[in-house]
Amino acid sequence: MTEDPEDELRKEIDQVERHAARTVELDGRQAMTIAIAVFVLIVGLVLPWMGDAAGYDVLLGTSPDATGKASMIPRLFAATSLGFGVIASAIGLMSRLWFFAWAAALGGWFASVDGVLAIWSRQSSRGDLGIGLILAEVAMVVIAAQWFRVAWSRPTTEPTSEPPA
């Protein structure tokens, strides 16, 4: 028994509607801003953060400048900025799913607050603050702000499974 063409069309429309409800609409400017900020964050991870220790040295703890209690908060910032700023943003830009947009937004703001604490802790302890840490913090704030703009732009209408009367 074949289905009515109208029923097939309704099923196809419902499928497209469900898919559209799960994805984000990123305009070119927003996507480019996020991509450039991710690039700046990666550059910040390569530049010095504490003394001669680059961001990746702080993350891995491979430099003598990046050891001890004073490096714990910058190490957490290095991990969260890499995880949420680079990885979650890349997945969010590629998949365009709401889940990843919210993960990048919320994680990005956590990393941003952690970055402020990392800068404060370095200034309070020895004052050997590198340009990479500041650059990474600015990039993380831009990434988080852009992802929040995207995440809050979700339409309030939910897909309907019943045909209009």
Nearest alpha carbon to residue 147 among 115, 103, 112: 103
Mean pLDDT of the chain: 85
For residues 33-41, average pLDDT: 96
Give per-residue pLDDT as tens, 126-159: 767 889 999 999 999 999 999 999 888 866 555 5
Q: In the chain, what percentage of residues exceed pLDDT 70?
A: 82
pLDDT of 80: 96
Exposure letters 66-82 (e unless 16+ CB within 10 A, then b)? bbeebbebbbbbbebbb
The 8-class DSSP code of residue 86 comes to: I
pTM of the predicted protein model: 0.80
Q: Which residue has tokens 């004052």?
A: 127
In a domain, residue 2? The reply is no
Q: Which residue has the higher pLDDT, 69 or 48?
A: 48
The H or E element that residue 150 is part of is helix 131-151
Q: Residue 4: is its pLDDT beyond 90?
A: no
In a domain, residue 50? The reply is yes
Bridge partners (DSSP) listed for residue 129: 50
- Cβ–Cβ < 8 Å for 102, 151: yes
In a domain, residue 137? The reply is yes
User: Phi-psi bin for 6: left (phi > 0), alpha (psi -120 to 50), beta?
Assistant: alpha
pLDDT of 72: 87
For residues 51-69, average pLDDT: 81
In a domain, residue 37? The reply is yes
Instruction: State which residues form the domain around 123.
Output: 27-149
In a domain, residue 115? The reply is yes
pLDDT of 52: 84
In the numeric block, which tokens belong to residue 118?
């990392």
Which of 5-9, 16-20, 95-99 has the highest average model confidence (pLDDT)? 95-99
* Spatial separation of the C-alpha atoms in residues 142 and 162, rounded to whole Å: 41
DSSP secondary structure of 37-73: HHHHHHHHHHSEEETTEEHHHHHHT-SGGG-SGGGHH
In a domain, residue 113? The reply is yes
pLDDT of 153: 80
In a domain, residue 94? The reply is yes
In a domain, residue 22? The reply is no
Number of domains in the chain: 1
